[in-house]
Structure 1
Amino acid sequence: MTWKKYLLLAIILSITVLLITHYTLSASIYDESSSTPPPSSYVLINITAPNYTTWTIYANASNVWYAYYQGSGSQVFGPAYVGEPGTIVTFNVASTTNCEYPSITYEPSSSIALSEGANYEMIAINCVSYVNATINVTSGGGIIMILSTPGFITTQSLIINGPTIQSMVLPVNTTLFIIAWPFYGYTLEGVYVDGTAINYTETPYGSFHTEVMLSTNSTITVEFTNATSSS
C-alpha cells in the first residue's frame, strides 16, 4: 500500500505543476497583449560635431514630451517614440563646451512635424575660429557697430562712446558695420585698421558709414577731431 501512496502523491504534484505552469503562461500572454503599444511615429537623431566638443541638446514636443541629449563628438540617438503623426518636435543646441562660437545647422529644420514611421533629424555643430578685435574710439563722438557673422542667423549691435578702448573676441570673418556719429562741434577725422586709413561714406544726417571684415587680429580706430580745427 505504501507504493500506492507515493504514486498518488506523484500524481497530485504533477497536476499542481501543470496548473501553475498554465497559470503562469496565461498571465504572461495576458500582460503581453494588454501592454500599450508605442506610438506609430518615432525620431532618429544624428548629431555631428568635432570630437573635442561636448554638447547638450534639448528636444520638446507639442504633446509636452521632452528630452535632453548629452554627449561629445558625433553620435546617433533613437528611436525616440515622441508621439503620434502630426506632433511638432523642436530641437535646440542648448550648450557646447570647447566650441566658443558654434555654427549650428538643423536638417530638415529645427522644428519638424512627425509623419508615420521613421523621422530623421540631423544636427551639425561646427566650431568657428575666432580673432581678437580692439576698438579704439577717440573723444568727440561715438559709434554704433553692427556685427554679423556667416552661419549665424542673428546680428549683434553695440553703442560705444569715446574716449574708450574695448577688446572683443569675435568669430573669424565677422563683418563690422560701423556708424560713426560726431558730437556737436566735432567731425570724423578718419577710420583706421591697424593704422591704415579706410574709406567711409558721409550721410546727409551727419553720420559716417564704413565696413570692416575681420579675418585676422585687428585694431580699429575711429578718430574724431574738433570741427573748427579741422577746417
Structure 2
Amino acid sequence: MVGGVGPLAVAYFYQRLIQLTPAVEDDEHLEVVLVAERVPSRIAYLRGVGPSPVPALLRAAKHLEAAGVDAVVIPSATTHAFRDDVARAVAVPVLDLLAEVGAALAGRGLRRPVFLATAPTARLRLYEPHLTTGTRPLYPTAAAQRRLDGLIDGVKRGAPVETLRAGLADLIAAGPWPGDADCVVLACTELPVIAPLGGAGPLPLVDVTEVLADAVLARHPTPARLTSP
C-alpha cells in the first residue's frame, strides 16, 4: 500500500479493509505492507506549482515490490493521474481505483453520478475514461467546488472530523443537483473520512474507499477458517 498520499485517508482505507474482511481471528486478515513516503502534493503539482510527486511514488512502489507484495494499492484518486508512471516502474499489478469505481457504478446501474473530488480530478475528468457508455457525470459548481476543496484541505491538516462531516453533509444537501442525478460519489479518499453518517439527502453515497477495499478483498480472498475434525 502506498502511503503519504493523504495519510489520514490511507489510514482510513486500511481501517475499512480490516472492517470489511470476513475474519474472526487476527491471522485471518490480509498481509499488508505500507510504505509511507513523504509524497509532494499532487494537487499542487497538477495546478502547476510544487515539485513532481512521481519520484516519491516510484520509490514507494519499488520498496513494496522489493518487500514481495503481489499487488500495489494507491488509496488516492488524484494520485491516479500518475498511476501509469507507477505501473510502468514495477512488475507487480497496480490496482486502478478509478476503474474499480467505474465498474461499481455500472454494476449498480448508476448512470448519472455527481462526482465530489479534488479540483484537479474534476478538471482533468480522471474518472470519465472508466465510465460505461451512456453515463453522464455531474460536477459541483465553482462555488461548491471551493467549499469542497476546503473540506478536503481540512482533512489533510487534521481539522476536527465532526465539524468537517457537518460541512460535507450541508454541501451534499444543498446541491443543487439536477433532478436526474442518481448518486453522489465521494470521489476523493479524504471525503469518506468525513462521510455523513446515515447518508445525506435522498441520493445514495458511493464511497470510493470502500469500493477499493472491496476490490482488494475480491482479489485476495481470506483463507477459510480451519475447524477441528
TM-score computed with the length of structure 1 as normaliser? 0.22
Please identify which structure carries the higher strand content: 1
Which structure ranks higher in relative contact order (CA pairs < 8 Å, sequence separation ≥ 6)?
2
**Which structure is larger by alpha-carbon Rg, 1 or 2?**
1
TM-score computed with the length of structure 2 as normaliser? 0.22
